[in-house]
Amino acid sequence: MKKYICIPCGYIYDPAEGDPDGGIAPGTAFEDIPDDWVCPICGVGKDDFEVVEE
């Protein structure tokens, strides 16, 4: 699964870790996160994330 980076703040969503504090279980693909989820650091929506090229 791909990692995604928040453009405004640099937070990286790693599917292996999820976002437990935000209610996202480890192993959850970015595409499967609810549309109302926001960055845990700066609060922007999923539209402000892009794929991390490895």
Q: What is the DSSP string of the chain?
A: ---EEETTT--EE-TTT-BGGGTB-TT--GGGS-TT-B-TTT--BGGGEEEPP-
> CATH code at 24?
2.20.28.10
Burial 16-25 (b: 16+ CB within 10 A, else e): eebbeeeebe
**Amino acid 43: pLDDT:** 98
Q: pLDDT tens digits, residue range 17-32?
A: 999 999 999 999 999 9
Q: How far is it, in rounded angstroms, from Cα 16 to Cα 10?
A: 18
Q: Which residues are annotated as a binding site?
A: 6, 9, 39, 42
Supply the range of the domain harboring residue 15: 4-51
Confidence of residue 54 (pLDDT cuts 50, 70, 90): confident
Tokens of 10: 């640099």
Tokens of 40: 């845990």
Total tally of structural domains belonging to the chain? 1
Q: Which residues are annotated as a binding site for Fe cation?
A: 6, 9, 39, 42
